[in-house]
Amino acid sequence: MNPIFADMPTTIFDVVSGLARQHGAVNLGQGFPESDGPEDIRAKAAEATMAGSNQYPPMRGLPELRAAVAEHYRRFQGLDLSSEEVVVTSGATEALAASLLALVSPGDEVVLIQPMYDAYLPLVRLAGGVPRFVSLKPPAWRLTEAALAEAFSERTRVVVFNDPLNPAAHAFDEGEIALLADFCRRFDVVAVCDEVWEHVLFDGRAHHPLIAQPGMRERAVKIGSAGKIFSMTGWKVGFACAAPRLIEAVAKAHQVLTFTTPPNLQAAVAYGLAKPADHFAAMRGDFQRSRDRLAAGLKDAGFVTLASEGAYFLSIDLAASGIAVDDQTFCRRAVVEAGVAAIPVSAFYTEEAVTNVARLCFAKSDATLDAGVERLAKARLLMRGP
C-alpha cells in the first residue's frame, strides 16, 4: 500500500461515531445536522431526477449551476467571477484534492494552518509537497506575522487557508486576512481557500474572502460546498472558483478524479443558491440559537467554552473547566462512561500543540443538546481534577 495511506489512522470522526453507536451515546462528535435540509431544494432534486437527464453532465458542471455560483458570490460577497471561472466538483473535498494535485509539484513547500481538516495533509503528500505548519492556539486562534514568517519561504508555492476554521470555529478578521494576502503576494504563493463554512457565521459577522484582497484575484482558488451552505452534508456538491490560469489546472485534475457530479443535485443546488438573503439569515439564526442553548447549558454545568464565531462547533476548554485529563482521554472516556461523543481537537494537529480542547457539534435538536449537556456534566464529574 502507498505509505501515505498505510500510515494513516482511521479518521477520528469514524472512530468516535463507531464508539457512539456501540455505547448508545448522544453524538455531538461528527459535524452534521440532525435535520434534513430545506424541503424545496430536496423537491427540486427529486424533480430533476425524474424529469431531467441522469446521464453525464458537462465535465465542468451544469452551465446553470456555474452561473448560479458566480451570481451567488456576486450577491453575497461582492465578487466579480464569470461562470467560466467556476468548476463544479463532488464536494469541497474533491475541489481541495483537484486544487492540490494540480497546483503542487514534487518538492514544493505548502503551508498548512493547524488545527486543520484531515484531508489536507495526505493530499499535499500525494502531490509530493513538503508541508510547513503554522499552529494556532486557543483561546483566540490568531494568525500572526511571526508564525507566517517562520513558515513561508522562497520554496513555498501554496498555502491552504480554511476560513471560518474548523474545528476552532474562528472566523479570521480583516487584519488577519490582509496579513495572509501580504505573505502570498510577497512570496508569490497561490492560496487554496477552503470556505465551506462561509454562510455559517454568527453574531452578525460577514465573510471576507481572501480572493477579494488586493492582488489575490489571480492567486486564489475559492472553494465552497453546497453540503454546508444548505445543511445537507451528504450532498457532495462543491465548487472551485479561480482566475483562468488556475481554474484550467483544477479542471484537468477534476477530469481524472470524478469527471462529473450528479446532475440532479447540481440542478437543485443552482435553484438553492438563488434563494433570497433571508433564507440564509434564517439558517444562521437557527444555528446561533442552538449554539447559545448548548453554551448556556454547559456554563450551568460548570464548563468553560471557547468563542464560536462560525461553523457548527463549540469547544470546551477542558483545563479551564477543571478537568484533569487530556482531550483524547476525555473524549474516549466520555463516550464509554458517560454516553456522549465529542471530538478531541488534538486530532487536527500533527504535533502535541493543543491537548485541552474538545469540540462539540451543536447542529442538533434541542432534546439532543440537552441530553448531551446532562451527560457531559456526568463526564466532568468523573474526570474532575483534585
- Residue 123 makes CB contacts below 8 A (sequence gap 6+) with 96, 97, 100, 101
Find the shortest distance in angstroms from Cβ 128 to ligand PMP.
22
Residue with smaller CB distance to ligand PMP, 225 or 290: 225
- Contact indicator for 346, 328 with CB cutoff of 8 Å: yes
Residues 38-97 that bind ligand PMP (CB under 6 A): 91-93
Number of residues that bind ligand PMP (CB under 6 A): 14
Instruction: Give the CB-nearest residue to ligand PMP.
Output: 91
Give dist(CA 170, CA 120) in Å, integer.
18
Find the shortest distance in angstroms from Cβ 89 to ligand PMP.
8
Give dist(CA 253, CA 247) in Å, integer.
10
For residues 137 to 176, the per-residue mask of contacts with ligand PMP, x marking binding by CB under 6 A and - elsewhere, is -------------------------x---x----------
Q: CA torsion angle for 360, 361, 365, 366 (degrees, to 10)?
A: 30
Cell numbers describing residue 386: 483534585
Residues 19-38 that bind ligand PMP (CB under 6 A): 31
| Burial classification of residue 309, based on how many CB atoms lie within 10 Å of its CB (0-12 exposed, 13-18 middle, 19 or more buried) | buried
Find the shortest distance in angstroms from Cβ 225 to ligand PMP.
3
Residue with smaller CB distance to ligand PMP, 171 or 323: 171
Residues 202-261 that bind ligand PMP (CB under 6 A): 225, 227, 233, 236, 238
Find residue 357's DSSP bridge partners.
317
Residue with smaller CB distance to ligand PMP, 170 or 375: 170
Give dist(CA 313, CA 333) in Å, integer.
20
Residues 318-377 that bind ligand PMP (CB under 6 A): none
The pair phi, psi for residue 340, each rounded to 5°, is: -145, 135
Q: Does residue 309 belong to the site contacting ligand PMP (CB under 6 A)?
A: no
Per CB under 6 A, residues contacting ligand PMP are: 31, 91-93, 117, 162, 166, 194, 196, 225, 227, 233, 236, 238
